[in-house]
Structure 1
């Protein structure tokens, strides 16, 4: 569907948390692009949204890019509208989103929460360090998103069970990431979505 732009702070999240270390990586990537090329850079990473009741835009992919750009003080960003649900009421809209797997009602501790408690804006999403760990495993090609399922959530939950430490310091996060790589190559991890067998070689 047609691409346009939207005010970042008006976008509604469909997941509870983001990995702020991963967000900071995306902030650094954006800063590295010269001002004249920045919008083209952002267009290549347009935020995937659906239009819900009242015309409100709900993010279904690229929450981390959206948060990175908010943290950088960017007001508007390119969006790509994947579906228009303006004609649905709130109940049918939620049902349509759940059916497509476009809502992840779990908080930063991996606990299931009521949909109504999702943060009202991208800027208010709390940090889940295990999403950052999962993101770096995906960047290292330990796993990939199969397409029909966002594998990062399953990997984050798996790491939550096996990895602990102080994610608030560089040294602490580095130790957690090293541990995450060890657990990413266990027989149990091979059953997770998107696992790449060649990554274990």
Structure 2
């Protein structure tokens, strides 16, 4: 029996790789990595270059069960409006922290919204920094370490805990959570201040989910924003990251 011939390989297509737009952004990004000063708190350049590399967004495994769709779309619109230089600088300033896990998988521990928005804007790669190598651990021990370090948030859009294996495969596949959007909107409206506390917005989302009704339309969601910002300034929110005690005291005296 004759072996069927393989179709001819389109070498130009095979070597083309990312789109021309992505190549221009990548080139600008690499230039910026060597020309611009590092953000405050980053290691020195020689150390950073050892730790930072680019990775396909498709290869990032999320460690969060939900995201805010509106926040992702808002960021994607902002990325599309940027010049190539500004876009490359913005990408460079927020490398995605990852943990090397079992089976050579790379787990993103933060900046899920950034990665999802860049994917939506047509960018295929992001700079990453390895914060831990847990690739030698068993799957069960790996997740124990991830949870102990607050690197995973296995909860669905209703605030219910989910199995680690039920987490989405890609950053853009996370469940849409109106309260995760609301947490960001309430912060932007002055309800609380942004902090570096891990998973802070998810804690605020859980807080708002407890005290506010779930919106069933965009108008209901918009109406919840000032209510959420006001609620964040009450003593009910005391202890949450970014809570401002002065604002709460002023609110209680009104």
Contact kept, 8 Å, 2:191 with 2:230, in 1: the verdict is no
Aligned to 1:185: 233
1:83-94 matches, within 5 Å, as 83-94=132-143
1:1-201 to structure 2, matched below 5 A, reads 2-144=51-193, 147-164=196-213, 166=215, 168-169=217-218, 171-200=219-248, 201=250
Q: Is the 8 A contact 1:165 1:176 kept in 2?
A: no
SS at match of 1:58: strand
Change (3 A) 1:165 1:89: closer
How far the C-alpha of 1:29 sits from its partner, in A, is: 2.2
Shift in Å, 1:4: 0.9
- In 2, Cα distance between equivalents of 1:142 and 1:183: 8
Asked whether the equivalents of residues 178 and 214 of structure 2 are also in contact (C-alpha less than 8 Å), the reply is no
Residues 82, 14 of structure 1: CA spacing in aligned structure 2 closer, same or farther, 3 A cutoff?
Answer: same
Q: Residues 190 and 229 of structure 2 are in contact (CA less than 8 Å); yes or no, is this contact kept in structure 1?
A: no
Structure 2 CA distance for aligned equivalents of residues 14 and 101 of structure 1: 10
Distance 1:168 1:63 in 2: 25
Question: Aligned equivalents of 1:95 and 1:52: distance in 2?
Answer: 12
1:121 CA drift (Å): 1.1
Deviation at 1:40, TM superposition (A): 2.0
Larger Rg: 2
Query: What CA distance in whole angstroms lies between the structure 1 residues aligned with 2:80 and 2:86?
Result: 11
Q: Aligned partners of 2:139, 2:124: CA distance in 1, in Å?
A: 27
Matches of 1:176 and 1:165, distance apart in 2: 9
Shift, 1:146, TM fit: 5.3
Structure 2: which 5+ runs fail to align? 1-47
Higher RCO (C-alpha under 8 Å, 6+ residues apart): 1
Provide TM-score, normalisation by structure 2. 0.72
The alpha carbon displacement at 1:138 in A equals 2.8
Shift of 1:141: 4.8
Task: Give the TM-score, by structure 1 length.
Answer: 0.90
Distance 1:85 1:42 in 2: 26
Show structure 1 runs of 5+ residues with no match.
Answer: none
Shift of 1:140: 4.1
Q: Per residue, is there more helix in 1 or in 2?
A: 2
Q: How many residues align?
A: 200
Q: Identify which range, 84-93 or 123-132, moves more after superposition.
A: 84-93
